[in-house]
Structure 1
Amino acid sequence: MTDDRGDAGHTPAVRVEKDAEQPAVAVLTLNRPDRRNALTRELKEALVAAVAQVGEDPSVRAVVLAGSGKAFCVGQDLAEHAEALRADAGSAFATVEQHYNPIVRGLATMPKPVVAAINGACVGAGLGFALACDFRVAAENAVFATAFAGIGLTADSGLSASLAHSLGAARALELLMLGESFTAERAAQWGLLRAAVPADQVLDTALELARTLAAGPTAAYAEIKNAVAVGAVSPLDETLAAEGAAQARLGVTRDHAGAVEAFLGKQRPTFEGS
């Protein structure tokens, strides 16, 4: 992979790279390995910008979100948070609207597939970021937790919704209120992971999936993401209407017309995302 972000002599808080094998795949890597990628203001601001950058880049057709070192992300850096509380507890949580919400919204609504490569601990907002992605590949020894109640808080980063939608309200309450950690094996059993693999295979497995997705009908993927988000919270009639409108939009794309002709000609379709 080739790094296309960061000034010489400065270690970027988030690395933004293109996959050397498939340049249509962008890799965003949280880059505080010595602190298990705990979220400082610098890292959060960099991630807001990086998510927006790849989301708007038409040359990017799939994204991998990863963590450097031995952890994916352990959530908010509590040392920095403690300083913010001491300075002004009333404004300490402005970061939710300024950083966490744009990151999660950007990942969840990005009009291209996003794969989380979870190489280790995935806690708090880190778990929220992972669940905002479309697919998750995790190390077999990865550990997950919500952690918020343990410091007297409720969830952020969309976990109240993503856990309830993925696992049901009862298990979401259990995980958020008791804060008990769970393993990659359990996460896979619950359907949260596409795969649990040895730690040294996480990034390669995530990249392989992202490359496959990047070669696919990315315009259709964007509509599928939106349709599932709508269908998860909407009445049947609204869901049917949204599906119909999306079908109509996709029906006039080159991808659809070309795929139909390829099918009739017993050929493999080629998708351009338009």
Structure 2
Amino acid sequence: MSVKIEIEGDVALVTLDRPASFNAITSELSKGLVSAMDRAADEARVAIITGSGKAFCAGADLGEIAAGYEREGPNLGTVLDETFHPAVDAIANATVPTVAAVNGVAAGAGLGLALACDLRVMSEDAFLMSAFAGIALAPDSGTTWWLPHHLGVSRALDITLTNRRVQADEAMKLGLCVDVVAPDRLIEAAREVAGALADL
């Protein structure tokens, strides 16, 4: 399983679980995330989304996409529609509030997952990054909607076109997260936020 879910009281902890690849999104992970979010909606009042190991989510598993090219040259629109959009939509359209517990990198489609959450808590060593410009791709996974929505067009363009890292302290100043904590306190802090939401 590339996604784990644990229900404790009113809070579901959904963990992207491909640490060796920094939780890069594959079709299997996307399906697992959709399933986990469905379960969270049925059994919990709030969902926390995080990544195992050293990263929240490094974006697309380009190896899986490249393998598709070697076989038949996939239509990237189909890949987006079948893999990345369902994962982002599962969070953005969740019927329970969502909290991203961002550890390490949230880049590319992983940034889309983090921004689709209602609230974000980041560890001190975490950062956000568009990443698309660095590999000559048009941004996807909702990032071109979420960044201007949260920041306005100018700041969104800065982050997207320069491909720079937005460290946790800057993300806090920009209003992209509600708290920055030590890495060993990340899940605890996210649970505090989630608990407050569950009590509403």
Q: TM-score, normalised by structure 2?
A: 0.94
Percent identity among equivalent residues? Answer: 40
Separation in structure 2 between the aligned mates of residue 107 and residue 42 of structure 1, nearest angstrom: 16
The alignment of Structure 1 onto Structure 2 pairs a total of residues equal to 200
Between the aligned partners of 2:154 and 2:91, the Cα distance in structure 1 is 25
1:48 is matched with which residue? 34
Matched, 1:118 2:102: yes
1:89-112 per-residue CA deviation (whole Å, 9 max, x = no partner) reads 342442211122222222122222
The separation in 1 between residues aligned to 2:85 and 2:142, in whole angstroms, is 8
**Counterpart of 2:71?**
87
- Aligned counterpart for 1:144 among listed residues 124, 128, 140: 128
**Partners of 1:93 and 1:118 in 2: CA distance:** 28
Quick one: distance in 1 between partners of 2:20 and 2:77? 25
Contact 1:85 1:92 in 2 (8 A): no
Name segments (4+ residues, structure 1) moved above 6 Å: none
Q: TM-score of the superposition, structure 1-length normalised? A: 0.70
- Structure of higher RCO (CA pairs closer than 8 Å, 6+ residues apart): 2
2:176 aligned to 185, 192, 208, which one?
192
Bigger Cα Rg:
1
In the alignment, is residue 171 of structure 1 matched against residue 155 of structure 2?
A: yes
Counterparts of 1:175 and 1:209, CA distance in 2: 27
Unaligned segments of structure 2, at least 5 residues = none
Distance 1:99 1:212 in 2: 32
Q: Aligned partners of 1:35 and 1:102: how far apart in 2?
A: 20
Instruction: Identify if the C-alpha distance between structure 1 residues 95 and 52 changes in structure 2 by more than 3 Å, giving closer, same or farther.
Output: farther
Q: Letter of the 1:144 partner, please give it.
A: L
What code does the residue aligned with 1:27 have? Answer: L
Cα 1:43–1:86 change in 2 (3 A) is same
How much is the aligned-residue C-alpha RMSD, in angstroms? Answer: 1.3
Instruction: Could you tell me which runs of 5 or more consecutive residues in structure 1 were left unpaired when the two chains were aligned.
Output: 1-11, 217-274
The equivalent residue for 2:112 is: 128
Partner of 1:25: 11
Kept after mapping to 1: 8 A contact 2:14/2:50 = yes
Aligned partner letter, 2:146: S
